[in-house]
Homo-oligomer: A and B are copies of this chain.
C-alpha cells in the first residue's frame, strides 16, 4: 500500500525540508541525534529491508534509541518518509550536458532517475500525489526542464513532456523494483517461481490456447531468451522495456519538437 505524506502542521514539515539545522542555545540536554542522522538511518533500513520493514522502532534501534526518541526530531512517520524521499532525490545531478542536443541529455536524466529508483525502491511506493515540495524534488524537475526548455516548445507542452517522462520512468522502474522485491521477500527465485506457475497454468487452464491465442502464439515465438545469464530474466526484460519505451517516447517527442528547431 502506498505510504502517505505527513499530514501534520505544514509549517513544521516544510521547515524540516528546507532548513539545515535549527540554531541551538537553549536549556535542556544536548540532542544526541540529528534529523539528518535519523533520515539516513531510515533510508538505510528501507534500502535493505524494504519499506514494509521501516518502522519507528527499527529506525530507533539502528541508532541505539527507542522509537519514541525520534519524535523529538520528527513529527511522525509520514514526515520522516517525506524527508527520506526528498533527500534521495537531492542526490540527482542538477545539470546535464546539452552539447549533443536535448535527446542524449533527456536520456541521461531518465537513466539517472531510473537508477535512483532502483537504488531506493521504496521511493516508488511513496505517493507522489501531493508533492513533497522539498529541494530534492525541485532539483529533479528543474534539471529536466532545463534540458527541454531550449527546444523552444511552449510552456504548456514543456510541462506535459516533463510529466510524461516522469510517469514513464516511474512506471517502468516499478516493474523492476517489484520484481526484485518479490524475489527478496518471498525467497523464491524467478525461474523456480515461473516453472511452478506455468505448470499449474497448463493444468488449471487447459483451454488457455483457445482463450488467449495471441499470448500463446507469443510464448511459442522463442523471442525470449536470456542474453546475460547473470541478470534475472524478468529484470532484464523490464530494463529492455524501459530502454525501448524511452526510445519510442523520444521519437514521438522529437516529432513534436522538430518542426520548431
Which residues of A approach B to under 8 Å, CB–CB?
1-5, 7, 10-11, 14-15, 17-19, 51-52, 122, 124-125, 127-130, 133, 135, 138-139, 141-142, 145-146, 149, 154-161, 163-164, 166-172, 174-175, 177-182, 185-186, 188, 193, 196-197, 200-201, 204-205, 211-215, 217-218, 221, 223-224, 234, 237-238, 240-242, 244-245, 247-253, 255-256
| Inter-chain contact B248/A164, CB cutoff 8 Å | yes
- What CA separation (Å) do A23 and B124 show in the bound complex? 42
Choice from B18, B146, B181, B248 contacting A129 with Cβ under 8 Å: B181
Q: Nearest Cβ in chain B — how far from A116, in angstroms? A: 16
| Inter-chain contact B248/A130, CB cutoff 8 Å | no
- What CA separation (Å) do A193 and B240 show in the bound complex? 39
Q: Nearest Cβ in chain B — how far from A206, in angstroms? A: 10
| Inter-chain contact B4/A3, CB cutoff 8 Å | no
| Inter-chain contact A204/B247, CB cutoff 8 Å | no
- What CA separation (Å) do A170 and B170 show in the bound complex? 9
A234, closest chain B residue (CB): B129
| Inter-chain contact B130/A238, CB cutoff 8 Å | no
**A-B contacts besides A163-B245, A164-B168, A251-B252, 14 pairs, CB < 8 Å:** A2-B178, A4-B182, A14-B204, A129-B179, A129-B181, A130-B178, A145-B218, A158-B218, A160-B240, A163-B244, A164-B245, A170-B174, A251-B256, A252-B255
| Inter-chain contact A141/B51, CB cutoff 8 Å | no
Ordered by A's residue number, 20 sampled pairs between the chains whose C-beta atoms are within 8 Å are A1-B125, A4-B181, A5-B182, A7-B185, A128-B178, A138-B215, A141-B215, A142-B211, A142-B214, A159-B241, A160-B240, A160-B244, A161-B248, A163-B238, A163-B244, A164-B248, A167-B242, A168-B168, A168-B171, A250-B252
